[in-house]
Amino acid sequence: MTVELTRDSYEVEVNGSDIPVLVDFWGPRCGPCLTLMKPVEELEREYEGKLKIAKLNAAENRMLCAKLRVMSLPTFLLYKKGIEVKRLTGESITIQEIKTAVDAVLAEP
């Protein structure tokens, strides 16, 4: 199940996770974000038990986005052991690029 993040839950859900985390920064007026929403949620089944998928509404969490230097949408951050290991950003991100990044992170020891 996709985790809905807030400023208060970010630290525990992302940095405290035993498995890698893909954080989807999205906005309700971001067309590319909304286009990717369903395919990203479907990744959960494909990577069940290996990857946590979390979403953060950037419009409701502007201060956290600024702190994390998320300046455009969509943005996807991949974390492993609480450390950001990959950042994908821009309107042209594809689900295949996301999967490739996730596979690379999961393949690392």
Residue 10 belongs to a domain with what CATH number? 3.40.30.10
Find the Cα–Cα–Cα–Cα dihedral 48, 51, 55, 61, rounded to 10°: 150
Nearest Cα to 75, choosing from 8, 27, 16, 12?
Answer: 27
pLDDT score at 11? 94
The verdict on whether 33 is a catalytic residue reads yes
Taking the C-alpha atoms of residue 40 and residue 54, their distance in angstroms, rounded to an integer, is 10
Write out the residue range of the structural domain in which residue 81 sits: 3-107
pLDDT score at 109? 84
Distances (CA, A) of 60 to 11, 52, 88, 101: 17, 21, 21, 27
pLDDT tens digits for range 20-75? 999 999 999 999 999 999 999 999 999 999 999 999 999 999 999 999 999 999 99
Count CB atoms within 10 A of the CB of residue 29.
9
Average pLDDT value for residue range 2-20: 95
State the catalytic residue, choosing from 5, 23, 30, 56: 30
The verdict on whether 30 is a catalytic residue reads yes
State the catalytic residue, choosing from 21, 33, 56, 78: 33
Please tell me the total count of domains within the chain. Answer: 1
